[in-house]
Amino acid sequence: MLYKLHFLQYIWRQIRLVASLPYFSLLVWLLPLLLFTSGHNSLMAHDEGLYASRARLMFDSGNWIAPWEKAHHKTPGPYWIIASFYKLFGTSDTSARIPSMIAGIFSLWLVYEIGKSMLGKKLGWLAAAILSVEFLWLQYSRLSTPDVPMVLLVLLAILSFIKTELHPKYRYWWSFLAGLSLGLGFLVRSFMIFLPITALLPYLIWEHRRHRHLTNPILYLGFFVGLIPTCVWLWLSWLHYGNNSFQELLKFVVQLGSEERESNGLLFYVWNIPLKAFPWAFFGLLGLFLTLRRPIPRYQLILVGFPLVLFVEISIFSTRLSHYSLCLYPFIALFASVGLNWLGNISQTGIPPHFPLEKSKKKILNLFAKNNLPRNLSYGLGGLGVLLVIASIGIFSWGSSDIRKYATIGLAMGLGWLILPMVWIGRYHFGKKFLTARYWIAGWLIPCWLALAAMGSIGLLSDYNPVLKAFLQQSAIASIIQSHPTYYVEIDAKTKVLLNFYLSTRPQQVASISQVPALSYAWIYTDQSPKLSRPHRILGTVKEYQLIQVIP
């Protein structure tokens, strides 16, 4: 009996040891956020549908080099990756998203390693945990786009530079990996990879006398090896399309750099990043301030220089879109870990760390007793939590069914925000000293996790076009579109992208209904039906579109 008891204690210790491992705990923290769905998935138009449908064209045609009618304007890395997962798991929107999910997991681990090297294990883990609950980051970790895979390669390059300095014995291996990562970045994201490469130049140039990266030939060897797949594709594409292969790549970059989309001006990222990374961007600003006051030895030009240069680059670049800033989000998380940890220390001791107490200890204590920022934040967020809970209960009681599902998010976040004042009151009013800074910091992480988990559970992070997909899955409609070709008479670009993916045979574009053969099927706008010159029957209506059959 005693032997069994010792054995069970041993097993329990091993379980606790595994659970405490940072990689495992981060995986357990992130995985539900990546997997929670309403049970249904549908692609987002426009970018996600484009990458998924182009990869399907490659996969269905068997032509992974030049399946297009004319030379393509992007490197094929994302299409190859997604098409490979079609081959492994079948063609579906879920298969298309798996590469970004995997890249999101590995990115989290890399942020932990980078943070551990520069800030310590505790802040490295906290930064990775924060990154996973930044809304835009989590959203793109669940989309079939190349943004998160590119960030993964950039983070791998940054970690390799750091490891090169920490482990000179393996300098050449890490240097090769750094170059290889950046070279493969061109395959995944074309010329966009040069934005983070440029942002690394202050570290590479100004700190050159210490690390000597730029005079290391292995770094360049790795970079050129990483370019080999792109060069092979360009050569094969040139054999098929001629010089247009190079022209389209360059033309697309010039076009992006010369047009402003959706009136997103020079200050677009100033408001967009705080909105999409709420509340972590504000902690990030505090962390940036603290880091500027107390520079990180050896790595200040990576931790501070890289994101600042990249922020300026994407702001100057004329095409400003939310996902272009994704490479900044790991650094927002790193800065936020510094800021949140600083406030957490104040919440536990009442004294900010690194203050020169020997000069004016009493004055500082009085200052933070009167103006206790963690206390005010705790009560303020607690009050917001109460309002969210009351509003959510009201919506559940009197709101429509369409609105009630959104109340789930408010209820989850509202209940989560109540943790902060409970921790504060428990520690300072009831003397529960076990409620340390870790509990207070958890009070910030848990509400965001619960809100994002609720969003995933009701499909807001996975089911972007449920109406269209449900229409295509109707037995009467599915039997037609899966066995007969269809035509576009006039249809918007986003819906066309989705149909290109979900239909087994790509619809053909025609200028007018007269070009559609008799007894064939076509997609039209609903208001076009009465104006058509040819007799037809309406098979179904979805949103503002109809599927019709032309009658002879």
**356 domain-assigned:** no
What's the confidence (pLDDT) of residue 318? 86
Half-sphere exposure in the Cβ direction for 133 (13 Å, CA): 24
What's the confidence (pLDDT) of residue 356? 46
**364 domain-assigned:** no
3-state secondary structure of 485: coil
* 282 and 414 co-located in one domain: no
* 422 and 488 co-located in one domain: no
* 49 and 117 co-located in one domain: yes
Reported as a pLDDT band with limits 50, 70 and 90, residue 396 is confident
* 431 and 478 co-located in one domain: no
pLDDT in tens, 289-305: 999 999 888 899 999 99
| DSSP labels, 395-429 | HHHHS-HHHHHHHHHHHHHHHHHTHHHHHHHHHHT
* 260 and 326 co-located in one domain: yes
* 56 and 161 co-located in one domain: yes
Q: Which residues contact 54 (CB under 8 A, 6 or more apart)?
A: 79
The DSSP call for residue 503 is: S
* 121 and 247 co-located in one domain: yes
Total domains in the chain come to: 4
**360 domain-assigned:** no
The DSSP call for residue 463 is: B
pLDDT in tens, 323-356: 999 999 999 999 999 999 999 888 776 555 554 4
Give phi and psi for 448, each to the nearest 5. Answer: -65, -40
**345 domain-assigned:** no
Domain termination residue (choose one: 403, 427, 457)? 457
Calpha distance 366→384 (Å, rounded): 28
Give phi and psi for 525, each to the nearest 5. Answer: -70, 145
Residue entry with tokens 């207070």: 440
**227 domain-assigned:** yes
pLDDT in tens, 73-84: 899 999 999 999
What's the confidence (pLDDT) of residue 350? 56
> For residue 382, what are the domain limits?
370-457
Domain termination residue (choose one: 340, 361, 379)? 340
505 within 8 A of 520, measured Cβ to Cβ:
no
What's the confidence (pLDDT) of residue 369? 45
Chain mean pLDDT for the chain: 88
pLDDT in tens, 95-137: 999 999 999 999 999 999 999 999 999 999 999 999 999 999 9
* 192 and 292 co-located in one domain: yes
pTM > 0.85: yes or no: yes
**352 domain-assigned:** no
* 442 and 386 co-located in one domain: yes
The DSSP call for residue 305 is: I
Q: Which residues contact 284 (CB under 8 A, 6 or more apart)?
A: 277, 331, 332, 333, 335, 336, 339
Cis amide leading into 67 (omega within 30)? no
Reported as a pLDDT band with limits 50, 70 and 90, residue 364 is very low
Q: What's the burial of 404, exposed, middle or buried (CB within 10 Å: 0-12/13-18/19+)?
A: middle
* 170 and 266 co-located in one domain: yes
Domain termination residue (choose one: 428, 457, 486)? 457
What's the confidence (pLDDT) of residue 370? 41
Reported as a pLDDT band with limits 50, 70 and 90, residue 435 is confident
331 within 8 A of 303, measured Cβ to Cβ:
yes
What's the confidence (pLDDT) of residue 178? 97
134 within 8 A of 280, measured Cβ to Cβ:
yes
| Cα-based angle 86, 88, 94 (whole degrees, multiple of 5) | 50
* 305 and 417 co-located in one domain: no
CA distance between the termini of the chain: 86
**286 domain-assigned:** yes
**166 domain-assigned:** yes
Q: What's the burial of 28, exposed, middle or buried (CB within 10 Å: 0-12/13-18/19+)?
A: exposed
* 182 and 206 co-located in one domain: yes
